[in-house]
Amino acid sequence: MAGLPATAGIAATMPKSYIKRILNARVYDVARETPVDEAVLMTRRLGNRVWLKREDLQPVFSFKLRGAYNKMNRLSEAQRARGVVAASAGNHAQGLAMAAQKMNVRATIVMPRTTPLIKVDAVRNRGARVVLHGDSFEEAAAYAANLVAEKNLVYVHPFDDPDVIAGQGTIGMEIVRQHQQPLDALFVPVGGGGLLAGVAAYVKYVWPKTRIVGVEPEDAACLLLALQRGRRDILPEVGLFADGCAVAQVGKETFRVIRDTVDEVITISTDEMCAAIKDIFEDTRSIAEPAGALALAGLKKYVERTGVTGQDLLAIVSGANTNFDRLRYISERTEIGEHREAVISATIPEQPGSFRAFCSALGRRNITEFNYRFADNASAQVFVGLSVVPGGEDLAELLAELARRGYVTEDLTDNEVAKLHIRYMVGGHAPESVDNERVYRVEFPERPGALLGFLSGLGQRWNISMFHYRNHGAAYGRILVGVQVPAGERREFEKVLEALNYRYWEETANRAYQLYLGKRAPTSAES
């Protein structure tokens, strides 16, 4: 997280021109004035009054409709006649497609190939032409720029445009009117910064003491990077889970506004987003997309860090466009993100009654997962998931109790290999014949043919000794692969991985792999 320069006297320094732009924005031909609802369950849990601005209730299930329509209204008749083009991961695309349909304007939308199908279909159903290109917003934007030059189309930027910013700023205007009393803090998701800039410009002008907090994914924190360096810069890699915020560089105009109006930026993990999706569902019975739950996740983190109580805190639920099959992955990660599930490994004696004794040591805690396979006559490794009380003390007490009873345990709750792969692979150690096994965790954009492309890229020089891949509905796939690579050839092998241009991590030393899948260390009797 990062703080911004103090905003005292903000009315004198902020871009006042945006107030008039926002007041004059034309959005309600297509957009709805969405409610500000109290999240009753979150209010009780956090000890603060928690409010949700429900932009997931828009006709396109996202706030993006506001900025797109306002921009379209500002185009001349000649510009509309040329047709419009945009690059978008989905929500801006839907908003622009709906605006173009209403105004009878031809629209071409360039979308990354990683865009959830639900968003692609929604854009096509609005009458727009969809072009799938690249794996990121930046690649899609570059292709859209080519179409502008080749076909004389008018480019409608998803965030870095004053009219788009002003359209999004109408959300801030509604919040002020609906809540009436100044909020203590307002939490806004950040991709390119259009929503944050528009909302912050209006709210900070009317309520100068309200703390404005931008919230970004940890793996797509382009605003935080800009603040740290004092200038806009490009992230070398962008995580795709929160596809609505998967932007490598914050906008030029949005950054100008944000620097004068925003107090703080908080970054959020994937697990924390998943937990916030569950929180929104429990309070509203609606399912937010990952980017849509980002602000609430930031609100929760802010309360945990500061310890504030009795305050009025509002989070913008920015959208609800997510593929149904992604819910499986979200559900799996939710309990860990909420710190309600722990994953541990324990060594128990390989003898009759040891399972029962170990379960007895766990007490009356709810066991969510239990994996085991016979390894040798001396001891066994068991992989256990169990419900715990948030805060960490419950787990610490359990591990201490198990230690007192003579069990050797390891906490794997934050081990990505354990959570993503090992829990589905517990089945035995590598045989003695497997030499020089190196283990890598690889991420690649999830699209048809991507897995085959990965395998083809590896070639046939090195033998694959272990492989795990599971499609869980996210925007990127994950592989755990074991490859027999002699010591003298490891740099060559990693050059092959680097040439594939996928993110990877070596996990040969990962404890979860060593405990459950690697070569079993010889027992004292064997040695």
Catalytic residues, by residue number, are: 64, 318
Nearest to 166 by CA among 272, 24, 262: 24
- Which residues partner with 367 through β-bridges? 386
In contact, 422 and 344? CB cutoff 8 Å = no
Q: How far apart are CA 509 and CA 511, in angstroms?
A: 6
In contact, 232 and 288? CB cutoff 8 Å = no
DSSP secondary structure string, 230-287?
Answer: TS----S----SSGGG--SS--HHHHHHHHHH--EEEEE-HHHHHHHHHHHHHHHS--
Burial 59-85 (b: 16+ CB within 10 A, else e): ebbbbbbbbbbbbbbbbeeeebebbbb
Nearest to 372 by CA among 380, 364, 360: 380
Q: Which two tokens stand for residue 204?
A: 């900070």
Q: How far apart are CA 224 and CA 229, in angstroms?
A: 9
Q: How far apart are CA 215 and CA 211, in angstroms?
A: 13
Where does 48-89 show beta strands of DSSP type E?
A: 49-54, 84-87
Q: How far apart are CA 292 and CA 312, in angstroms?
A: 20
DSSP H or E stretch at residue 174: helix 162-179
